[in-house]
Amino acid sequence: MGVVNVTPDSFSDGGRWFDTTAAVKHGIDLVAQGADLVDVGGESTRPGAARVDEDEELRRVVPVVRGLAAEGVTVSVDTMRARVAQQALAAGAVLVNDVSGGLADPGMVPAVAAAQAPFVVMHWRGFLTDIHARPVYEDVVSEVVDELHARVEAAVAGGIAPERIVVDPGLGFSKNAEHDLALLARIDRLRTLGRPVLVAASRKRFLGRVLAGPEGSPPPARERDAATAAVSALAAHQGAWAVRVHEVRATADAVRVARAVTDAAGPGQGGNKGGNSGAGGVAGPEAAGEAGAQ
């Protein structure tokens, strides 16, 4: 899943693709580099980011979705608002990626259910300005799995078919570096939910912490792509359905190598056994409907 941020303030590439024409071209370029799916978002979720109003988010997102869909690109929309999701789906998007898992807008789950669209449910404890969103866990893996299970159940109760739900552990959202690493080490636990797993680690703060070491300064976001590719290979080996990244080519290569190593191990070996497809270049599960990676 390649990222197109139609925002002036994204933490990693804010402003580079703010123009509709540039954003559409970038999305097409990501497909040429190996993206199976392009995720278009018009609202930054970086710490401290102010929310844009709904009309501005629509203005940013819908023309880009329409332009990419017209070029035959498989598009997802990254939004927490039901009206943006509805209009993006009408413009040609095929999947809704909601970092709040349907919590930010009570209209989201009914809207996605009515559209019969695949839905990414991310682990979310609230906006990062909310005191309840603090990164406090006794057992981060167990708690994230339990809270995701509750959100999946709520989505199903709201009318979304279980086979259309994808889960995302929400790396960096109400989590510190140790939490993020623990979740990446236990993707197998996330897969016990029985849903495809999306891993969105690209350029995030915890990678900067790892690269900096105990006393160094974290490298800027755009210098974390090699680290992102490493996470992508690990996620693919553990059976993730997809990885969401800003720089596609390195991750596509990393995933290809991870798949080759897993295949060389023979049937029943390695982390990607049966069930949901691994990320990148393979048929996605029925759960993701038309948005499955091809």
Is 273 an active-site residue? no
Q: Rounding to the nearest 10 degrees, give the CA dihedral for residues 119, 122, 124, 126.
A: -40
Decide if pLDDT at 18 tops 70: no
Per-residue pLDDT, 195: 98
**Rounded distance, CA 106 to CA 119, Å?**
14
From residue 244, alpha-carbon distances to 78, 139, 214, 225, 266 in Å are 11, 25, 27, 12, 27
Per-residue pLDDT, 280: 35
Residue predicted with more confidence, 137 or 44: 137
Catalytic residue among 60, 205, 244, 259: 244
Residue 135's Cβ-count burial label (10 Å; 0-12, 13-18, 19+) is: middle
Confidence of residue 294 (pLDDT cuts 50, 70, 90): very low
For the segment 231-265, what is each residue's pLDDT rounded down to a tens digit? 999 999 999 999 999 999 999 999 999 999 989 98
Per-residue pLDDT, 267: 73
Is 244 an active-site residue? yes
Confidence of residue 146 (pLDDT cuts 50, 70, 90): very high
Q: Is 137 helix (H, G, I), strand (E, B) or coil?
A: coil
Catalytic residue among 204, 205, 224, 259: 204
Per-residue pLDDT, 126: 87
Predicted TM-score of the model (pTM): 0.87
